[in-house]
C-alpha cells in the first residue's frame, strides 16, 4: 500500500476543490464483502494529474466524466486520474469491499450470545479507503450523502439523521463539510434508547445482548451527555454544529472511542456488564466529554495535516477532564486526581523513551501518514493536555477561552494549523504565547524540579533546582506534622512561584516545613523530587496529607523515583502497605496498585524476590478487604479483591471463591471476576480445559470468548502454548480482540522456563504477521504479545537486532522501540 505524503497532499489540495460525495453501500451481499458505489463531484483549478484512493476486494468499474477508466490501472491503493482539465468533474467508482476483523474500515462482528451481526466503520487516517473511494486527506473537506442497503431488522446509524426509505434502503441527511476520516456508519439490530435535548435528537445504541446494561445506565449516560453539552455551550460561542448526537457502543473497537461528528463510537466494554468502581465510571464520563469536545476541536475545525493531531487530542483530553470536573462535580468530585495518577504518567513515560517527539512536531517530522500514525501516544494526549492545563494556569481561563472562540469563529468547517491556533490565543492576551509554545510544544523530555530548603534566622528559604528549561507556574505546599498525631500533616500554606527563578530564593517566615511539595495541585508537567527531610516525611506520613490531589502528586513522585532508580521497589511496596489502607480516593488506590502489581512485581523485581512482592500485595489486599467489610466502600473492596486474585501464588483461596460464587462478605462473583479467577488458576496450574469449557458454557458472550482465549493461553502446558502461538502468528483467524486476549494469557512470569523458546520466535514471527495483517494488528502484537516478562540481556539483544531489519513495519518498529526501552529500564532498576 502506498502511504500519502505531506507533499502529495499539498499538491492535491492546490489542484482540487472537492464538493460532494454520494456513497451507496450494500450490506446484503454476503459475510465477506459488501458493495460500495461512490460518486465524487470536484473541481480542478488547473490542468494536471492526481489520484483517488481505495482498497477494494474487486474494482468493478470507474468512470471520469462518463469516460471509463481502466480498473487494472489501480496500483496498490491508488487509481490515477490523468489529464484533468480545469473545471468541474464527476468520478464514479463501483467496487466490492472486504469486511474487516481487525477494527479497521468496515468491521463485521457476529455476537456469539445470540448470533446477531453488526457492522460499523472506523475510517481514521487511511481506512476510509477500505469502505469507499476518496481523496483521502483531512484538508479536502466535502459534503457527504450516504445511502445504505441493510438486512431486514437492522437499523442504520450515520453522521446525520437517517430514515428508512420505501424501498428498504436507509438514507442519511447531507452532512456539513467533513474530512473523509469522519464519515461513519453503524448498522445492525441495535438496541436503542433515545431522547431529545436542546432541540436535537440524542441516542444511545448497543448490541441487543447488552440491552439490559444500557437500560440500567441510560439515565446516567444521558445525564452526563446533557451536562457536558450544556457546559460546552457556556464555554464556546459556536453552537453544536451537527443535526443529532448519537453514541454507539460497538464491539471489538480498537480505540477508546472515535469522534465521528454526530455518531460517536465507543468500545462496548463501556457497557458495564459486571461491577465497576466509581473511578471506572468517571473514566467513561471523561471519554464522553472528550469525544464531545472534538465536535468543536477536530470536527468543526480540523487539522490541515497530521503533524497537528495534538490540536485535536490534547484539547479534547484537557477539556474532557475539566468539563466533567465542572459539569458532573456532584458525581465525580475531582477528575484531575485520576488524570494525575493514570494519564500524566502515560505521557511522561512516553516522553522519556527514544521515540519521544514534541507535542507539536516540526512539519518535516511527519512526512507521511505512516509516520503520523505513530504519534497517537501519551505525548499527543496526556502531555499535551498537561501543557494546556499549565497554559490555562498561566493565561487564565478567560483569555484561554477567548482565544479558543476566536479560533472556532475564524476556521469553522475548515482546517487550521498550530500557527493559526497560537495566533488566535495570542489575540486574546498580552502574554507572549508564541514564546510559550516554542518552549512547551516544540521540545521533548520531562523537566525535573527539586526543592532546596534551608533554615536561617527565623525564616526558611526555598530554591528550586530545575533540570530542564521550560517556564513553570507551580504551587508549593508547606506541611507540618500534626502535634497530636505525627502521621497526620497540616497545611501551613500554599503559595505560587515561577520556575525558573534564576538566582532568586523564596523566603518564608518560620521554621522549615516538615514536607515541601512542589507542584502542589498538579498544574504543571514535570517530575518532582523532595529534599531529604521532605522525603522522609512523605514515606512516613503520606496518608496523612489532607488533600487527595497532593497525595497523588507525592505518589507520582515516588513512582518516578522507582523508575529512575532512586527508590527501591521494595520501599515503594512497603509504603503502599503502610498507607493505602488509609487512602480515601479510589483513583489513587487503583493507580498505586496497578503500578505495584504490573511494574514492580512483574518487571522491576528480580524473579527470586517476586514471591515476597506478591506476598506484600496479597497482605495489602487482605487488609483492604478487612477494612471494607461494612459495605460502605464497594469500589475499594472490588479493587482489593481484583488485586488479591491477580497476586495469588496459591490457588486455594480464590478457587474457593469460584466454587462458592462469592467472596465472603461480598461481592458476588460476576462474569468479569469469574474469568479473572479462572485465568489466575490457569497460570497456577489449577485449572484445565474442562473448567474453561464449563465457564464458557456459563458465559458464551463475546467477553466470555475472550476470557476463554486468555485462560487457554495461560495454561502451563507445552500444547497450550503451541496452540496459542499458532493462533496469534500463523493462522490469522483471530479477530483483534481475540488476539489481544490470547496475548494477555501467553506470557506469564511464573512460566518463564516453559515459554523461553518463544522469546526469540517473537522477533521472527511478529514482523511477518504485521506485514500480513496491517498496522492495527502490528500495534497489538507490539503492545500485548511482546515478552514483557523476559527482563534479561539476551532478550534485549534479540530485540535490538530485530530493530535493524529494514522490513519492519513502522507500527511494529515503534512499539518495539518503546518496549525495549522499558526492558532496558527494568534491567537498570533490578541491577540497582
| Model confidence at 763: pLDDT above 90 | yes
pLDDT tens string 389-418? 999 999 999 999 999 999 999 999 999 999
Instruction: Write out the DSSP string of 557-579.
Output: HHHHHHHTTSS-HHHHHHHHHHH
pLDDT tens string 654-669? 999 999 999 999 999 9
Give the Cα separation of 564 and 552 in Å (integer).
18
Contact yes or no for 763/797 (Cβ under 8 A): no
What is the mean pLDDT of the segment spanning 195-218?
98
Q: Give the per-residue SS3 of 137-201.
A: CCCCCEEEEEEEECCCCCEEEECCCEEECCCCCEEECCCCCECHHHCCEEEECCEEEEEEECCEE
Average pLDDT for the chain? 96
Q: Using 50, 70 and 90 to split pLDDT, how confident is the model at 1?
A: low
Please, which residues bridge with residue 464 across strands?
A: 451
What is the mean pLDDT of the segment spanning 74-103?
97
Give the Cα separation of 245 and 466 in Å (integer).
46
Q: Report residue 648: phi and psi, to 5°.
A: -60, 135
Grid cell of 240 as nine digits: 453544536
DSSP 8-state assignment for residue 146? E
Instruction: Write out the DSSP string of 192-237.
Output: EEEEEETTEEEEEEE-GGGHHHHHHHHHHHHHHHHHHHHHHHHH-S
Give the Cα separation of 735 and 254 in Å (integer).
11
| Model confidence at 500: pLDDT above 90 | no
**Quick check: do 1-187 and 307-397+420-441 share a fold?**
no
Looking at 24, 280, 291, 672, which residue is catalytic? 291
pLDDT of residue 631: 86
Give the Cα separation of 813 and 146 in Å (integer).
37
Instruction: Write out the DSSP string of 468-504.
Output: S---EEEEEEEEEE-SS-TT-EEEEEEEEEEE--TT-
Contact yes or no for 156/170 (Cβ under 8 A): yes
Grid cell of 757 as nine digits: 523458546
Residue position matching grid coordinates 502454548: 721
pLDDT tens string 433-458? 999 999 999 999 999 999 999 999 89
The Cβ-side half-sphere exposure at 257, using a 13 Å CA radius, reads 30
What is the mean pLDDT of the segment spanning 550-555?
98
pLDDT of residue 487: 85
Residue position matching grid coordinates 512561584: 497
pLDDT of residue 469: 86
Whose CA is closest to 551, among 573, 576, 570?
576
Residue position matching grid coordinates 512523605: 538
Give the Cα separation of 159 and 295 in Å (integer).
12
Tell me the H-state helices in 252-305. 278-294
- State the CATH class of domain 1-187: mainly beta
Please, which residues bridge with residue 185 across strands?
A: 158
Grid cell of 523 as nine digits: 498544574
pLDDT of residue 505: 83
Instruction: Provide the pairing of β-strand 263-267 with 245-250.
Output: parallel
Task: Answer whether the bond into residue 667 is a cis peptide, omega within 30°.
Answer: yes
| Model confidence at 197: pLDDT above 70 | yes
pLDDT tens string 135-175? 999 999 999 999 999 999 999 999 999 999 989 899 999 99
What is the mean pLDDT of the segment spanning 16-23?
98
Task: Answer whether the bond into residue 500 is a cis peptide, omega within 30°.
Answer: yes
Grid cell of 32 as nine digits: 465477506
Instruction: Provide the pairing of β-strand 472-481 with 489-499.
Output: antiparallel
How many other CB atoms are there within 10 angstroms of residue 690's CB atom? 8
How many helices (H) and strands (E) the chain has is answered by 28, 28
pLDDT of residue 364: 85
The CATH architecture of the domain made up of 307-397+420-441 is Orthogonal Bundle (1.10)
Q: Give the per-residue SS3 of 731-772.
A: CCCCCHHHHHHHHHHHCCHHHCCCCCCHHHHHHHHHHHHHHH
pLDDT tens string 721-757? 999 999 999 999 999 999 999 999 999 999 999 999 9
Contact yes or no for 458/502 (Cβ under 8 A): no
Contact yes or no for 374/355 (Cβ under 8 A): yes
Give the Cα separation of 687 and 681 in Å (integer).
5
Q: Using 50, 70 and 90 to split pLDDT, how confident is the model at 330?
A: very high
| Model confidence at 610: pLDDT above 80 | yes
| Model confidence at 501: pLDDT above 80 | no
Strands (E), 251-382: 257-258, 263-267, 301-303
Q: Collect all residues with Cβ–Cβ distance below 8 Å to 414 and sequence separation of at least 6.
A: 141, 177, 301, 302
pLDDT tens string 466-495? 999 899 999 999 999 998 887 899 999 999
Please, which residues bridge with residue 193 across strands?
A: 204
| Model confidence at 131: pLDDT above 90 | yes
What is the mean pLDDT of the segment spanning 11-38?
98
Q: Using 50, 70 and 90 to split pLDDT, how confident is the model at 419?
A: very high
DSSP 8-state assignment for residue 131? T
Contact yes or no for 760/802 (Cβ under 8 A): no
pLDDT tens string 40-88? 999 999 999 999 999 999 999 999 999 999 999 999 999 999 999 999 9
Grid cell of 734 as nine digits: 483471530
Is 291 one of the catalytic residues? Answer: yes
pLDDT of residue 466: 93
Q: Report residue 100: phi and psi, to 5°.
A: -110, 150
Residue position matching grid coordinates 501516544: 377
Instruction: Provide the pairing of β-strand 200-206 with 245-250.
Output: parallel
pLDDT tens string 508-519? 999 999 999 999
Whose CA is closest to 624, among 692, 577, 572?
577
- Span 447-560: which CATH code? 2.60.40
Domain-wise residue ranges, the chain: 1-187, 307-397+420-441, 447-560
What is the mean pLDDT of the segment spanning 86-104?
98
pLDDT of residue 502: 60
Give the Cα separation of 100 and 108 in Å (integer).
6
Amino acid at each position: 500500500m502506498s502511504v500519502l505524503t505531506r507533499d502529495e497532499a499539498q499538491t492535491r489540495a492546490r489542484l482540487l476543490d472537492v464538493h460532494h460525495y454520494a456513497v451507496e453501500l450494500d450490506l446484503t451481499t454476503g459475510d465477506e464483502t459488501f458493495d460500495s458505489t461512490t460518486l465524487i463531484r470536484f473541481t480542478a483549478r488547473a490542468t494536471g494529474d492526481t489520484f483517488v484512493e481505495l482498497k477494494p476486494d474487486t474494482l468493478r468499474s470507474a468512470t471520469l466524466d462518463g469516460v471509463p477508466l481502466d480498473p487494472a490501472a489501480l496500483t496498490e491503493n491508488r487509481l490515477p486520474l490523468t489529464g484533468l482539465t480545469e473545471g468541474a468533474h464527476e468520478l464514479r467508482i463501483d467496487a466490492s469491499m472486504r469486511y474487516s476483523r481487525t477494527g479497521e474500515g468496515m468491521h463485521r462482528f457476529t455476537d456469539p450470545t445470540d448470533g446477531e451481526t453488526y457492522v460499523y466503520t472506523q475510517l481514521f487516517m487511511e481506512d476510509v479507503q477500505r469502505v469507499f473511494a476518496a481523496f483521502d486527506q483531512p484538508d479536502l473537506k466535502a459534503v457527504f450523502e450516504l445511502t445504505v442497503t441493510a438486512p431486514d431488522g437492522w437499523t442504520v446509524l450515520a453522521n446525520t439523521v437517517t430514515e428508512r426509505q420505501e424501498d428498504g434502503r436507509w438514507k442519511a441527511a447531507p452532512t456539513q463539510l467533513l474530512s473523509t476520516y469522519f464519515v461513519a456508519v453503524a448498522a445492525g439490530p441495535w438496541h436503542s434508547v433515545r431522547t431529545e435535548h436542546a432541540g436535537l435528537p440524542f441516542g444511545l445504541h448497543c448490541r441487543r445482548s447488552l440491552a439490559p446494561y444500557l437500560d440500567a445506565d441510560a439515565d446516567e449516560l444521558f445525564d452526563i451527555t446533557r451536562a457536558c453539552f450544556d457546559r460546552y455551550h457556556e464555554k464556546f460561542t459556536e453552537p453544536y454544529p451537527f443535526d443529532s448526537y448519537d453514541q454507539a457502543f460497538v464491539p471489538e473497537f480498537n480505540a477508546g472511542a472515535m469522534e465521528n461528528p454526530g455518531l460517536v463510537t465507543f468500545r462496548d466494554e463501556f457497557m458495564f456488564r459486571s461491577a465497576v468502581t466509581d473511578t471506572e465510571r468517571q473514566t467513561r464520563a471523561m471519554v464522553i466529554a472528550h469525544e464531545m469536545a472534538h465536535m468543536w476541536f477536530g470536527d468543526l475545525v480540523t487539522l490541515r495535516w497530521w503533524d497537528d493531531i495534538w490540536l485535536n487530542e490534547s484539547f479534547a483530553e484537557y477539556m474532557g477532564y475539566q468539563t466533567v470536573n465542572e459539569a458532573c462535580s456532584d458525581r465525580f468530585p475531582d477528575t484531575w486526581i485520576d488524570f494525575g495518577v493514570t494519564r500524566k504518567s502515560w505521557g511522561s513515560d512516553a516522553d522519556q523513551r527514544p521515540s519521544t517527539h514534541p507535542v507539536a512536531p516540526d512539519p518535516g517530522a511527519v512526512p507521511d501518514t505512516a509516520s503520523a500514525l505513530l504519534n497517537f501516544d501519551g505525548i499527543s494526549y496526556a502531555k499535551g493536555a498537561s501543557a494546556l492545563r499549565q497554559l490555562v494556569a498561566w493565561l487564565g481561563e478567560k483569555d484561554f477561552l477567548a482565544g479558543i472562540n476566536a479560533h472556532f469563529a475564524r476556521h469553522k468547517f475548515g482546517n487550521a494549523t498550530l500557527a493559526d491556533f497560537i495566533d488566535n490565543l495570542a489575540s486574546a492576551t498580552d502574554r507572549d504565547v508564541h514564546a510559550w509554545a516554542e518552549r512547551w510544544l516544540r521540545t521533548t523530555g520531562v523537566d525535573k524540579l527539586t526543592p532546596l530548603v534551608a533554615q536561617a534566622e527565623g525564616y526558611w528559604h526555598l530554591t528550586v533546582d530545575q533540570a530542564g528549561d521550560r517556564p513553570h507556574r507551580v504551587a508549593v505546599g508547606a506541611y507540618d506534622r500534626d502535634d497530636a498525631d505525627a502521621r497526620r500533616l497540616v497545611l501551613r500554606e500554599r503559595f505560587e512561584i515561577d520556575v525558573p527563578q534564576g538566582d532568586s530564593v523564596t523566603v518564608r517566615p518560620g521554621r522549615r516545613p516538615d514536607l515541601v511539595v512542589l507542584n502542589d495541585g498538579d498544574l504543571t508537567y514535570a517530575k518532582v523530587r523532595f529534599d531529604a527531610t521532605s522525603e522522609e516525611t512523605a514515606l512516613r506520613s503520606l496518608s496523612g496529607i489532607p488533600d487527595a490531589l497532593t497525595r497523588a502528586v507525592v505518589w507520582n513522585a515516588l513512582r518516578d523515583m522507582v523508575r529512575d532508580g532512586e527508590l527501591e521497589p521494595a520501599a515503594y511496596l512497603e509504603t503502599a502497605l503502610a498507607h493505602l489502607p488509609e487512602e480515601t480516593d479510589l483513583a489513587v488506590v487503583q493507580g498505586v496498585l496497578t503500578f505495584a502489581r504490573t511494574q514492580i512485581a512483574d518487571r522491576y523485581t528480580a524473579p527470586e524476590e517476586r514471591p515476597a512482592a506478591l506476598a506484600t500485595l496479597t497482605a495489602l489486599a487482605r487488609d483492604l478487604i478487612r477494612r471494607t467489610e461494612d459495605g460502605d466502600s464497594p469500589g475499594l473492596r472490588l479493587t482489593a479483591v481484583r488485586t488479591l486474585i491477580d497476586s495469588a501464588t496459591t490457588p486455594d483461596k480464590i478457587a474457593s471463591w469460584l466454587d462458592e460464587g462469592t467472596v465472603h462478605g461480598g461481592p458476588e462473583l460476576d462474569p468479569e471476576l469469574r474469568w479473572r479467577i479462572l485465568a489466575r488458576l490457569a497460570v497456577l496450574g489449577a485449572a484445565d480445559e474442562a473448567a474453561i469449557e464449563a465457564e464458557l458454557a456459563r458465559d458464551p458472550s463475546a467477553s466470555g470468548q475472550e476470557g476463554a482465549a486468555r485462560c487457554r493461553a495461560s495454561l502451563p502446558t507445552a500444547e497450550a502454548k503451541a496452540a496459542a502461538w499458532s493462533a496469534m502468528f500463523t493462522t490469522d483467524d483471530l479477530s483483534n480482540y481475540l488476539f489481544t486476549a490470547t496475548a494477555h494469557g501467553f506470557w506469564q512470569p511464573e512460566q518463564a522456563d516453559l515459554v523461553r523458546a518463544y522469546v526469540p520466535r517473537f522477533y521472527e514471527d511478529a514482523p511477518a504477521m504485521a506485514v500480513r495483517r496491517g498496522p492495527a494488528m502490528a500495534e497489538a502484537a507490539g503492545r500485548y504479545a511482546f515478552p514483557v516478562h523476559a527482563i534479561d540481556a539476551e532478550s534485549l539483544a534479540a530485540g535490538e537486532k530485530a530493530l535493524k531489519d529494514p522490513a519492519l513495519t513502522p507500527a511494529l518498529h515503534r512499539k518495539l522501540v518503546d518496549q525495549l526501552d522499558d526492558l532496558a529500564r527494568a534491567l537498570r532498576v533490578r541491577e540497582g
